[in-house]
Structure 1
Amino acid sequence: MESLLTAAQHADLYDAENLWTTAEDFFLRFTNATPASRVLDLGCGTGRLTIALAQAGHEVSGIDPHSGSMAAARAKPGADAVRWIDGTSSVLGEEEVFDTVLMTSHVAQAIVDENEWTRTLANIKRVLVPGGRLVFDSRDPAARAWETWTPAQTRSEFTLSDGTHLQSWIDSALHDEGLIKITEHRLFADSSREMQDALLAFRSEDQLRADLTAAGLQVDEVLGGWSHEPVGHGAGELIFLAHA
């Protein structure tokens, strides 16, 4: 079913739903630990963090397969300082070299196909310089975050930049082992409605460690929250810091 929102409106809604948080502060600090580095923002979305990385003095490439998100990113102030790449990690050429690769906003969980996840990690290993760093976040399945994704706890109202007003909420259900189905519901001012489904992969810390090791990446640390809490004592996260 075709969405009632245009690609531009979807990008606008994404930015309204996903504001700058302590997570972005964490990724920015992590990257800034290596000044003026070559950075790949893998799954950059609408580019808010990507542009901030460039403004911090890094040589930044942002890559994403969603054309609407990329169009929104390219239209933002400061976008000219970023090299934008349409596609997934599979389009990265043999000549690509990066000091740091980031996957933020739980992008790792959106890669639900295990073969694609394996290829993504292999591509990251290929483009990282020896000793180059990888950081990404994935929700800890032990925290069972999906149990809080209910209409009562997620309902919000938004007014987009073009004046479109809508209410939105989500619910979730177990789809398969390790996979959660998320349904976002939208109610518009004229009473029209739509739903959008997505799947998220909830991989355990042990599985992610094994996946990184199989790709030839070395795990340095796994955190449970954005203030460097241990796993199980933070924000229900698995924040992986690794290197090639």
Structure 2
Amino acid sequence: MAPQPSQPDYATEFADDYDRFFGKPGISGTTVDALAALAGTGPVLELGIGTGRIALPLRARGIDVHGIDGSEAMLGRLRAKPAGAEVPVTLGDFSQVPVTGSFSLVYLAAGTFFELRDQESQARCFVNVARRLSPGGLFVFDSHVPEALARAAGGSEVVSEDEDHLVLCHRRVDPSAQRYRSHYVIHEDGRTRHLRVEFRYAGHGELDLMAGRAGLRLRERWGSWAGGPFTRDSAYHVSLYERP
């Protein structure tokens, strides 16, 4: 997950602590396993590469990973990690996919696709990804199910806790605009911070339509990164779009 230029405070404030608060090994490991199985011959491209939470474990498996991100702060954390400086990265708006070459897999994780703030930028991302996929290549990302998102909104979720810190998330959904706002309250070292980040959500039917107009087709839809079925009870899905 990596913020775009429209949300610089979020990127700057979270860069140093992102892995500590959000890098849950079980969730990250399952995502890495799934993407490694889909990578094919490579290279692969992560949109919103951020601190490299997903990209570096993929690289450690011998996969040629490239990345795009809109935050210098996040990329600074990536470059400071072992082997992080060796990952080819581009600073920019990932909806433009401002790179050259073709990729067997383009992916996002942790809801990053929906940091693109409107339908136009999301549709543009599909089009530009399609241009960079090799034949048979995949565009893969996860997404909240809007109905499940609405049901869960209004409550508070413990994102991370330890003896020295507590991170809470509270979501507010605006169905009239297809948007939701996540409020993060971080208490640490006697100090409390309040950060906000906004997302533009879309149902899987709308995503399929954008993909089709970009020349991609749905290959599979999972109910989780573990690859289970997408059902009426799924809170999120992972969509795999293929370039014919």
TM norm. shorter chain > 0.5: yes
Deviation per CA, 1:108-158, whole angstroms, max 9, x where unpaired? 12223111111111110111112211111011113236626633x326435
Deviation per CA, 1:59-101, whole angstroms, max 9, x where unpaired? 21011111111110111112143112111232514x3211110
1:138 is matched with which residue?
A: 143
User: For 1:116, which of 106, 112, 121 is the aligned residue?
Assistant: 121
Relative to structure 1, the CA distance from residue 42 to residue 214 in structure 2 (aligned partners, 3 Å threshold; closer, same or farther) is: same
Alignment of 1:20-31 (within 5 A): 20-22=25-27, 24-31=29-36
Between the aligned partners of 2:159 and 2:129, the Cα distance in structure 1 is 36
What is the root-mean-square deviation in Å for CA atoms of aligned residues? 2.6
The answer as to whether partners of 1:226 and 1:234 remain within 8 angstroms in 2 is: no
2:182 is matched with which residue?
A: 182
Alignment of 1:194-205 (within 5 A): 194-205=193-204
The offset of 1:50, in angstroms, is 0.6
1:11 is matched with which residue?
A: 15
Amino acid at match of 2:81: K
Between the aligned partners of 1:100 and 1:46, the Cα distance in structure 2 is 19
Runs of at least 5 residues in structure 1 that lack an aligned partner in the other structure: 160-164
User: For 1:92, which of 94, 98, 102 is the aligned residue?
Assistant: 98
The answer as to whether partners of 1:60 and 1:82 remain within 8 angstroms in 2 is: yes
* TM-score, normalisation: structure 2: 0.84
69-78 vs 177-186, which moves further: 177-186
Is the aligned partner of 1:154 residue 2:158? yes
In the TM superposition, structure 1's runs of 4+ consecutive aligned residues that sit over 6 Å from their partners are none
Runs of at least 5 residues in structure 2 that lack an aligned partner in the other structure: 1-7
User: Based on CA coordinates, which of the two structures has the bigger radius of gyration?
Assistant: 1
Relative to structure 1, the CA distance from residue 53 to residue 214 in structure 2 (aligned partners, 3 Å threshold; closer, same or farther) is: same
User: For 1:50, which of 41, 51, 55 is the aligned residue?
Assistant: 55
SS across alignment from 2:65? strand
Is the aligned partner of 1:173 residue 2:179? no
The answer as to whether partners of 1:225 and 1:233 remain within 8 angstroms in 2 is: no
Deviation per CA, 1:140-185, whole angstroms, max 9, x where unpaired? 113236626633x3264358xxxxx543212121234321121112
The answer as to whether partners of 1:16 and 1:158 remain within 8 angstroms in 2 is: no
SS across alignment from 2:110? coil
The offset of 1:39, in angstroms, is 0.4
Alignment size in residue pairs: 233
Relative to structure 1, the CA distance from residue 35 to residue 203 in structure 2 (aligned partners, 3 Å threshold; closer, same or farther) is: closer
Between the aligned partners of 1:171 and 1:133, the Cα distance in structure 2 is 33
The answer as to whether partners of 1:184 and 1:196 remain within 8 angstroms in 2 is: yes
Relative to structure 1, the CA distance from residue 26 to residue 189 in structure 2 (aligned partners, 3 Å threshold; closer, same or farther) is: closer
* TM-score, normalisation: structure 1: 0.84
Relative to structure 1, the CA distance from residue 73 to residue 63 in structure 2 (aligned partners, 3 Å threshold; closer, same or farther) is: same
SS across alignment from 1:37? coil
1:162 is matched with which residue?
A: none
Relative to structure 1, the CA distance from residue 216 to residue 36 in structure 2 (aligned partners, 3 Å threshold; closer, same or farther) is: closer
